Structure 1
Amino acid sequence: MKNEQLLMLKPDLAGLEKAAVILQGGGLVSFPTETVYGLGADARNDRAVARIYEAKGRPSFNPLIVHVADADAAARYCEFNDIAQRLAQAFWPGALTLVLPLKADAGISKLVTAGLDTLAIRVPDHPVAAGLLGAFGGPVAAPSANPSGKVSPTTAAHVADGLGDKIDAVVNGGHCAVGVESTIVSCVGDPALLRAGGIPAEALEACLGRALVVGQDPELPTAPGQLESHYAPRGKVRLNAPYAQEGEVLLGFGPVDADLNLSVAGDLTEAAAHLFAYLHQLDAMGAKKIAVSPIPDHGLGRAINDRLKRAAAPR
């Protein structure tokens, strides 16, 4: 449903200032990051955060990521240990979310943390996101700007199509370069990979000089993006398919004859950038059955496979 009242803001000074005013008033503003478009609200405002859950239809036990302008801002809300400091110095701003102990006086809405004593936080590496955070001057809770469980948005048009009748404004900053959500690492206890994402786990492990612990219960999420059925197009998804069967549309990878191809060249970075846009296209095509070519399970391929596995989960 198209919302005639939805503000589509330009990513200039006037647009960012208008977006900041909407956030300050408890409104919902979608904005681009290098990963996907986020659905932002003042992370200190219970009513505004509740509107995120309402707009997305998101389970209230699934925590939200808070976006801040820089590491100094993050330190106002969270406790950093040596591991967190090393990761932040190496990968912020960027597609890395850290789960850290929440300071007692942080002032973050409990709806953001889903009642946990930790906070998922990151510093995005996108000029529009940075400009908005600077204009707003506070923490912005921002999950992906899509109905919960549906395909994440990588353009302003995706946001308008999915949530246009439920939110106040979108800052149109073009296409998101990375195209999959941030990697999430818990720095509470041994460093643990909670969600594969835009920064490969191998790069994080090289920075730390140690392996990350992997494995969380998807029914008891401690960070965003851990629900089993997620990122789902309307059609039924079959993974690791060398070819399409009768009635299926093939989402390809590599040199295969496909209806849509994530990367003919077999480039995982290109495939990640195309993933959500192509899942949206499959919905637009009315695909009832979707076959997906095998994707190598290393580097960004781990994040792509994670999203596809969730897209294919029973629902």
Structure 2
Amino acid sequence: MEQLPYTKETQESLIQRAVETLSNGEILLYPTDTVYGLGVDATDEDAVAALRDLKGRDEKKPILIMVPSIDSIEEYAEMNEEAYRLAEEFLPGPLTLVLPAKKTVSYSVTFNRTIGIRIPDDPFCLALAEAFGKPITSTSANRAGMETRDTVPEILAQFAFHAESIGLVIDAGRKGKTQPSTIVSVTESGVSVLREGALSREVLGL
């Protein structure tokens, strides 16, 4: 496991190293606009399986992905008028949209053919997603059923020996008590808030 500190000055070289990690099918621990996340190439079935093992996550539970733009969302999911409204008003930001998945996305990150997608309001994440050119998982860096920690040392301690499966750690210091993203499902069956996080129902107009 390689650990590198994040600074604005080293962002470009860190992104290059992160892209190499993802391209090699390895797991990336990285900072987002909310909490620390775990990233792998979301089109790589083996990498997604390794990520699930690290988290101890049920195979039936979907894994969120991040992309750099609304155009990118359209590549992997179907969007209706309400999905466009939410995306245009609140993305980039702490909002995850659960949308009908297209066949271009790996089955292993979907649930009932839906996919959770977000565009983080974070310069590193946006630049990484743009540079990698494929969807990256954006699941919180914690063991299933356990609280998400604020610092890299705390996160690695929680993973214990499982942490050895992480290829690269990008340490941006303490993330603070930031709320996770709000998750909103927008499908043919309607609109529903699955998890109220940093954005309230009122703010979203729901």
Give TM-score scaled by structure 2 length.
Answer: 0.90
Q: Secondary structure at the match of 2:190?
A: coil
Mean CA deviation greater in 129-138 or 43-52? 129-138
What are the Cα deviations for residues 51-96 of structure 1, in whole angstroms up to 9, with x where unaligned? 1100011111111101111111111111110000000001000000
Pairing 1:162–2:181 present: no
Q: How does 1:140-179 map to 2 (within 5 A)?
A: 140-163=136-159, 164-176=163-175, 179=178
The residue number in structure 2 matching 1:93 is 92
The residue number in structure 2 matching 1:190 is 190
Tell me the distance in 1 between the aligned counterparts of 2:153 and 2:72: 31
* CA apart distance, 1:170: 1.2
Q: Secondary structure at the match of 2:16?
A: helix
* CA apart distance, 1:130: 1.6
Q: State which of 109, 124, 144 in structure 2 corresponds to 1:112.
A: 109
Q: State which of 130, 143, 154 in structure 1 corresponds to 2:126.
A: 130
Q: Which has more strand, going by share of residues?
A: 2
Pairing 1:46–2:9 present: no
Mean CA deviation greater in 169-178 or 57-66? 169-178
Tell me the distance in 1 between the aligned counterparts of 2:176 and 2:97: 21
Q: How does 1:20-35 map to 2 (within 5 A)?
A: 20-35=19-34
Structure 1 residues 96 and 177, CA gap change in structure 2 (3 angstroms): farther
Tell me the distance in 1 between the aligned counterparts of 2:64 and 2:200: 19
Given that 2:101 and 2:110 are in contact with CA atoms closer than 8 Å, whether structure 1 keeps it comes out as no
Q: Secondary structure at the match of 1:131?
A: helix
* CA apart distance, 1:133: 1.4
Pairing 1:9–2:8 present: no
Q: Secondary structure at the match of 1:42?
A: coil
Identity value in percent = 36
Given that 1:30 and 1:159 are in contact with CA atoms closer than 8 Å, whether structure 2 keeps it comes out as no
2:74 maps to a residue whose letter is A
Q: How does 1:250-265 map to 2 (within 5 A)?
A: none
Counting matched residue pairs gives 198
* CA apart distance, 1:131: 2.3
Q: How does 1:176-255 map to 2 (within 5 A)?
A: 176=175, 179-188=178-187, 189-205=189-205, 211=206
Tell me the distance in 2 between the aligned counterparts of 1:162 and 1:69: 30
Tell me the distance in 1 between the aligned counterparts of 2:2 and 2:174: 18
Q: Secondary structure at the match of 1:62?
A: coil
Q: Secondary structure at the match of 1:76?
A: helix
* CA apart distance, 1:182: 0.7
Q: List alignment gaps of at least 5 residues for structure 2.
A: none
Tell me the distance in 1 between the aligned counterparts of 2:200 and 2:176: 15
* CA apart distance, 1:160: 2.3
2:164 maps to a residue whose letter is D
Q: Secondary structure at the match of 1:119?
A: strand
* CA apart distance, 1:190: 1.9
Q: Secondary structure at the match of 2:98?
A: strand
Q: List alignment gaps of at least 5 residues for structure 1.
A: 1-5, 206-210, 212-315
The residue number in structure 2 matching 1:55 is 54
2:132 maps to a residue whose letter is F
Given that 1:31 and 1:128 are in contact with CA atoms closer than 8 Å, whether structure 2 keeps it comes out as no
Tell me the distance in 1 between the aligned counterparts of 2:116 and 2:34: 16
Q: RMSD over aligned Cα, in angstroms? A: 1.5
* CA apart distance, 1:178: 6.3
